[in-house]
């Protein structure tokens, strides 16, 4: 599936002029999209995703990996900011608020997205904040590219849920450090709860309890911290989202887990094997459904499982994970299911 919103933004990025420019990119981009833009000295790029950051660097962009952290820039320093909106409203509001502070007077914010992502509302809110009308270019399938020129700041900042601050998520007796920009940042995912409940009963199948656990796609670290309550082991948690990694490190320290938290793309640089791999995999990577992230998570699980080890994956009931796992593992078993989720155990 092509990202038509990106296709509206792409020509503007490709033809940018000589002014200081900033491009904000999340996971909704492919390597081919990145390859379609020529790096320029005056263009800085920020991504919160490690794989995107590596692809940008490889292509020669002046790229930074951060939680859309603007604090290193001078106020009113950019002539233009390019942004294809993200899925999460708090992130989009954070970036629009930052544009108001970091664009020069008469600097331009280019926002692109689909109608069902709320692009029309984002554009009206940005226009109110930047004190300017929006110049709109409509694309196919209700996509929109708006150019907003910063005049006098005319409204209060948008509600970004205190984007730059960490907050707390409570789960029973435990509390977790989290923040906007992380998967399900202000709640506990019910699929992950189901995986933990299943794991507590499932441990009986191990002759020796697992000593090394990998938490694949760890988010703020819910699975590791919960498993640690009843399974004393060494935990390695990994995710490609720098924001998630920052929070997960804090949760490891807060809950005294032994192990490490590493940023990586599908754990590709990790070689430590594990007796147990726990995972609530992402559906797909932005618009790149072809890339089939679930399959890559399964392949990683196969590569990192120690002999006799088990992978435990939780997915929505309708996801055919078993079919994708079957060619990779000698045993693929649904060990628990309810009306929303199933937990699948994988063995080499």
Ligand X SMILES: C[S@@+](CC[C@H](N)C(=O)[O-])C[C@H]1O[C@@H](n2cnc3c(N)ncnc32)[C@H](O)[C@@H]1O
Q: By the criterion CB under 6 A, which residues form the site for ligand X?
A: 51, 183-184, 189, 192, 217-219, 222-223, 239-241, 244, 265-266, 280, 282, 285, 293
Q: Shortest CA distance to 75 belongs to which of 97, 101, 113, 109?
A: 101
Report how far residue 146's alpha carbon sits from residue 248's, in angstroms, rounded to the nearest whole number.
Answer: 36
CB of 242 to ligand X, least distance (A): 10
What strand order describes the sheet that includes 212-216? 258-263, 234-239, 212-216, 274-279, 305-316, 341-347, 331-337
The size of the chain, in residues, is: 348
Please, are residues 176 and 186 in contact by the beta-carbon 8 Å criterion? no
**Residue 277 in tokens:** 């791999």
Please, are residues 233 and 278 in contact by the beta-carbon 8 Å criterion? no
CB of 330 to ligand X, least distance (A): 25
**Residue 201 in tokens:** 């009963």
CB of 139 to ligand X, least distance (A): 27
Nearer to ligand X, 76 or 168 (CB): 168
**Residue 45 in tokens:** 């790029």
Nearer to ligand X, 183 or 287 (CB): 183
Report how far residue 103's alpha carbon sits from residue 113's, in angstroms, rounded to the nearest whole number.
Answer: 20
Nearer to ligand X, 75 or 269 (CB): 269
CB of 273 to ligand X, least distance (A): 18
Q: Shortest CA distance to 166 belongs to which of 180, 184, 151?
A: 180
Nearer to ligand X, 149 or 192 (CB): 192
CB of 267 to ligand X, least distance (A): 7
Nearer to ligand X, 40 or 171 (CB): 171
Could you give the 3-state DSSP secondary structure of residue 153?
coil
Please, are residues 321 and 294 in contact by the beta-carbon 8 Å criterion? yes
CB of 208 to ligand X, least distance (A): 25
Report how far residue 276's alpha carbon sits from residue 309's, in angstroms, rounded to the nearest whole number.
Answer: 6
CB of 227 to ligand X, least distance (A): 11
Nearer to ligand X, 61 or 185 (CB): 185
Nearer to ligand X, 115 or 324 (CB): 324
Nearest 5 degrees, angle CA 123-CA 126-CA 128? 110
CB of 37 to ligand X, least distance (A): 21
Residues ≥6 apart with Cβ < 8 Å to 239:
217, 218, 219, 245, 248, 263, 264
Nearer to ligand X, 138 or 187 (CB): 187
**Strands 341-347 vs 331-337: parallel, antiparallel or unpaired:** antiparallel
CB of 21 to ligand X, least distance (A): 27
Nearer to ligand X, 97 or 240 (CB): 240
């Amino acid at each position: 599936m092509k990202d038509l919103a990106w296709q509206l933004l792409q020509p503007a990025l490709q033809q940018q002029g000589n002014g200081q420019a900033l491009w904000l990119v999340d996971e909704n981009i492919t390597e081919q999209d990145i390859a379609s833009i020529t790096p320029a000295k005056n263009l800085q790029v920020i991504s919160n995703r490690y794989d995107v950051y590596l692809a940008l660097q490889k292509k020669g962009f002046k790229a930074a990996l951060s939680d859309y952290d603007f604090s290193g820039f001078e106020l009113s320093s950019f002539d233009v900011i390019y942004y294809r909106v993200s899925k999460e409203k708090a992130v989009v509001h954070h970036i629009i608020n930052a544009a108001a502070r970091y664009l020069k007077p008469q600097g331009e914010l280019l926002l692109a997205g689909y109608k069902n992502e709320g692009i029309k509302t984002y554009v009206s809110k940005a226009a109110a904040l930047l004190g300017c009308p929006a110049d709109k270019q409509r694309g196919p399938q209700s996509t929109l590219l708006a150019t907003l020129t910063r005049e006098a700041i005319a409204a209060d900042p948008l509600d970004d849920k205190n984007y730059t601050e960490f907050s707390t998520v409570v789960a029973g007796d435990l509390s977790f450090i989290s923040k906007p920009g992380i998967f399900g940042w202000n709640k506990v995912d019910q699929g992950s709860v189901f995986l933990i409940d299943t794991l507590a009963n499932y441990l009986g199948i191990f002759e020796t309890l697992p000593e090394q656990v990998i938490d694949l796609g760890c988010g703020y670290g819910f699975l590791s911290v919960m498993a640690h309550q009843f399974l004393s082991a060494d935990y390695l948690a990994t995710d490609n989202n720098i924001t998630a990694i920052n929070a997960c490190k804090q949760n490891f320290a807060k809950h005294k887990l032994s192990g490490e938290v590493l940023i990586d793309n599908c754990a590709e640089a990790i070689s430590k094997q594990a007796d147990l791999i726990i995972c609530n995999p992402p559906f797909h990577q932005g618009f790149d459904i072809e890339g089939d992230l679930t399959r890559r998570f399964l392949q990683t699980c196969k590569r990192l499982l120690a002999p006799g080890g088990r992978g435990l994956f939780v997915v929505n009931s309708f996801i055919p994970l078993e079919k994708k796992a079957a060619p990779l593992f000698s045993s693929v078993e649904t060990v628990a299911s309810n009306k929303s989720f199933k937990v699948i155990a994988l063995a080499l």
